[in-house]
Amino acid sequence: MRVLQRFYLVEVLSGVALTAAHFFRNMGAHGRRALGQKSARGAVTIQYPEERRPYSPRLRSLHRLVRREDGSPRCVACMMCETVCPAHCIYIVATEHPNPEIEKVPARFDIDIGKCVFCGYCVEACPEDAIRMDTGILEFASYSRRGMIYTQEMLLSLEPAGPDGRPQSPIPIPADRQP
């Protein structure tokens, strides 16, 4: 170390000068913003629940089940997704479809989000393109394990995310949090 550095005081003051420069620059930006100049930003913070950064279109978020044109689920209960799921979080009960051209339809289609690892294999495996992970919904905290289970009706009600990746449909409220 140089003698000046060993003396420490000069180095401390240069460090303090750096942080003080940040302080006054940011304060200036905050002040200009308060006076109406919206482009001035004194912080890099994104204030999360109100502000969000745009999500990538490739983001794997909460699943949704796609509907046919008549509104019935596109899923044919082939069990491909249930089989491929490494976390065993999909539970399907199949039943007959009223239309004889379609073999089966799920009576129950539950996903336990608490177990899901968001690998996207179910989307890859689906032969009918009936399950997608494009809702943009990432907030599914719950007070109970029961509340992490999303039923067929909830999954069918979801819409794909908008162009900026923000969720279009409201986050479904699981059964244990229904008012």
Rule CB under 8 A: which residues touch another protein? 8-9, 12, 15-16, 18-20, 22-23, 26-27, 30, 42-45, 47
Least Å from the CB of residue 22 to another protein: 5
Question: The tokens of 152 are what?
Answer: 């067929």
Least Å from the CB of residue 24 to another protein: 9
Buried residues in 69-105 as b, exposed as e (16+ CB within 10 A): eeeebbbbbbebbbeebeeebbebebeebeeeeeeeb
Query: What are the strands, taking DSSP E only, across the chain?
Result: 64-65, 90-96, 104-112, 131-132, 149-150
Buried residues in 131-164 as b, exposed as e (16+ CB within 10 A): bbbbbbbeebeeeeeebbbbbbebbbebeebeee
- Which residue number, 19 or 178, has a Cβ lying nearer to another protein? 19
Least Å from the CB of residue 35 to another protein: 15
Least Å from the CB of residue 44 to another protein: 5
- Which residue number, 11 or 112, has a Cβ lying nearer to another protein? 11
- Which residue number, 7 or 143, has a Cβ lying nearer to another protein? 7
- Which residue number, 36 or 100, has a Cβ lying nearer to another protein? 36
Least Å from the CB of residue 52 to another protein: 16
- Which residue number, 17 or 93, has a Cβ lying nearer to another protein? 17
Q: Assign 150 to helix, strand or coil.
A: strand
